[in-house]
Amino acid sequence: MTDQPTLTDGVVTLRPFRDDDVAAAVAGHDDVIAHWFGWPVDGVTPERMRAAIADWRASYGDDHSQVAFAIEVDGHVAGSVDVRRREPGVGELSWALYRGERGRGVATRAVRILIDYALSETGQGGLGYSRVEAKVEPGNEASLRVATRAGLRREGVRRIEPGTGDRPETTSYVVLARLVSDPPITEPEGFRALLNSFLPRKRAISQLLVRDREGRVLICNLTYKRDWDLPGGVVEVGESPRLAAMREVSEELGLDLEADRLLLTDWLPPWSGWDDAVCLVFDGGVHEAAIADRVRMQAREIRSVEFAAVDQIRERCADFTARRIDSALANLATGGGPAYVESGRRT
Ligand SMILES: CC(C)(COP(=O)(O)OP(=O)(O)OC[C@H]1O[C@@H](n2cnc3c(N)ncnc32)[C@H](O)[C@@H]1OP(=O)(O)O)[C@@H](O)C(=O)NCCC(=O)NCCS
């Protein structure tokens, strides 16, 4: 069995803990660390720290199931990082900098060194993991920064039953991970994938404004809500919004209609358990009223379809849908209506 290695990037060094680190480690554990790890503030005593160091030594010697390093910078110990085996090939990372050591980029460097070590093959002195991951509470902004700066991609949010996490307040963790096959973040592809993993996404809905020769608008009575709406639906990942409107109308109504120019973008604020969304309304053209009779409705989603005049629209649709249809019609007639509204209202 080889000794636990010492690793460095030239500025920050990761080395095994020594017994003479105990005093600095105990003094450095402050309320910030206690808070995010869910420990009592005075939970780290010299006895416990000595016992922890002995445990880390033992688990390195046994099977590397947990490998902990002291972070050394400018000749003194500034914090700790560790990686624990969660399942074969998968290591969970954690990190902490001691009081007075934060805000100088040390954590980011330390976590990068640890990731390289954990993902390197055992033959090259690493742990041979195929995946390393971290779970960070959404409010722990410093740690989320450290994780992404160190190249962990954001994968999603794991919900936690209140009272069962590390801290009573914990209700979710952001899960971040890096696979051994992920391209380095110094390469454009790797950097883009990293950014792409945590930049916000917004839901998009595409609808068609279809009229008959009397200027009435085609609206649908949906099975999953009481009020009527324009035909259309949610844009799939990677799908063109214009094609999505045509696809939805074809799937739901059996009508093959062309989506022409974009008439309106309506931002729908978060509502009743839904995240916010942008709703794009495309011109679906003017058609014979008889197309409503040709409709082959998808029974799962659509109860009925009709051309409706403005007063019927106001009666049957939710107020924000009626406002959206009004705005789209105003834009259609003169091109003088708003191109962008929020919940159907001009901004
Ligand atoms: C997380 C922790 C190690 C970060 O230490 P640090 O020395 O500030 O980290 P770095 O200097 O490498 O900074 C990393 C980034 O976080 C940012 N950051 C630091 N503190 C921040 C804060 N309170 N709020 C928002 N961002 C913060 C820094 O600006 C930096 O971003 P940048 O590179 O874009 O400028 C430290 O705050 C800590 O010990 N926290 C308690 C332990 C913990 O939460 N561990 C996580 C368990 S998985």
**CATH code of residue 320:** 3.90.79.10
Are 292 and 260 in contact, with CB atoms under 8 Å apart? no
Are 157 and 175 in contact, with CB atoms under 8 Å apart? yes
Q: What is the pLDDT of residue 40?
A: 87
Burial 292-309 (b: 16+ CB within 10 A, else e): beebebeeeebeebbbbe
The reply to whether 181 and 286 lie within a common domain is: no
Closest by alpha carbon to 97, among 165, 33, 27, 178? 33
The reply to whether 49 and 192 lie within a common domain is: yes
Which of 86, 145, 169 has most ligand 1 atoms within 8 Å of CB, for mutation? 145
Return the residue matching tokens 């209700």.
171
Q: Which of 179, 198, 217 is the last residue of a domain?
A: 198
Which of 77, 101, 146, 154 has most ligand 1 atoms within 8 Å of CB, for mutation? 146
| CA 108 to ligand 1 centroid distance, Å | 8
Q: Report if pTM > 0.85.
A: yes
Can you say whether residue 338 is alpha, beta or left, with left for phi > 0 and alpha for psi between -120 and 50 degrees?
beta
How many domains are there within the chain? 2
What element of type H or E holds 81?
strand 76-87
Report how far apart the first and last C-alpha atoms of the chain are (Å, whole number): 68
Q: What is the pLDDT of residue 82?
A: 98
Interatomic CA distance for residues 69 and 56, integer angstroms? 9
| Torsional sign, CA 17, 21, 22, 24 | negative
Q: What is the pLDDT of residues 155-166, one digit of tens each?
A: 999 999 998 888
The reply to whether 340 and 219 lie within a common domain is: yes
Q: Provide the 10 A C-beta neighbour count for residue 180.
A: 16
Q: Which of 175, 198, 221 is the last residue of a domain?
A: 198
CATH, residue 83: 3.40.630.30
- C-alpha angle with apex 83: 78 to 87, nearest 5 degrees? 170
Domain of 178, in residue numbers? 7-198
Q: What is the pLDDT of residue 168?
A: 86
Interatomic CA distance for residues 15 and 301, integer angstroms? 61
In a domain? residue 1: no
The reply to whether 152 and 35 lie within a common domain is: yes
The reply to whether 262 and 135 lie within a common domain is: no
For atom 41 of ligand 1, the residue with the nearest CA is 33
Q: Which residues contact residue 96 at a Cβ distance below 8 angstroms, ignoring those fewer than 6 apart?
A: 29, 33, 36, 37, 79, 80, 81
| CA 38 to ligand 1 centroid distance, Å | 17
Q: What is the pLDDT of residue 1?
A: 60
Interatomic CA distance for residues 76 and 28, integer angstroms? 12
**Residue 31, helix vs strand vs coil:** helix
Q: What is the pLDDT of residue 274?
A: 92
98 lines ligand 1 (CB under 6 A): no
Q: What is the pLDDT of residue 225?
A: 81
Q: Which residues contact residue 85 at a Cβ distance below 8 angstroms, ignoring those fewer than 6 apart?
A: 63, 64, 65, 66, 91, 129
Interatomic CA distance for residues 277 and 267, integer angstroms? 6
Q: What is the pLDDT of residue 319?
A: 95
295 lines ligand 1 (CB under 6 A): no
Q: What is the pLDDT of residue 165?
A: 84
The reply to whether 54 and 182 lie within a common domain is: yes
Give every residue of the chain whose pLDDT is below 70, as ranges: 1
Q: What is the pLDDT of residues 35-64, one digit of tens each?
A: 999 888 888 999 999 999 999 999 998 889
Closest by alpha carbon to 157, among 169, 139, 180, 130? 139
